[in-house]
Amino acid sequence: MEPKVASAFGGGIGRKGSLCGALTGGVIAIGSRHGTNRPISIEREKAYSLASKFYDQFEKECGSVLCEDLIGYDLSNPDELQAARDSDVFGKKCVHFVRKAVQILLELC
């Protein structure tokens, strides 16, 4: 079960086809571990550097960072959303992207 904070990441942020939820969640994980609440930019550099590397590696290994490109469906269109569900794209492709994001995070952090 996913944490409530990540519930709306699916479908590229509320089914808009934008940034993959696995990528977005990974950036939150980096911030949780390496971020700071202080407004001092030097303290944020490690998180920025890791997030940049994570983004680049995810894009390189998965072919895109955009949900719509990754799964091949426009989830904002009800017909395509249903087609995506019918094809089990979430079970077939999204699981792969989540695993890849975790693998990259483990290598970086």
Average pLDDT per consecutive 10 residues, the chain (109 residues; last block may be shorter): 75 93 94 87 89 98 97 96 96 95 95
Predicted TM-score (pTM) of this structure: 0.89
Q: Can you give the pLDDT at residue 77?
A: 96
Side-chain-side CA neighbours of 30 within 13 Å: the count stands at 26
Q: Can you give the pLDDT at residue 2?
A: 54
Separation of alpha carbons 9 and 98, rounded Å: 12
Q: Can you give the pLDDT at residue 88?
A: 97
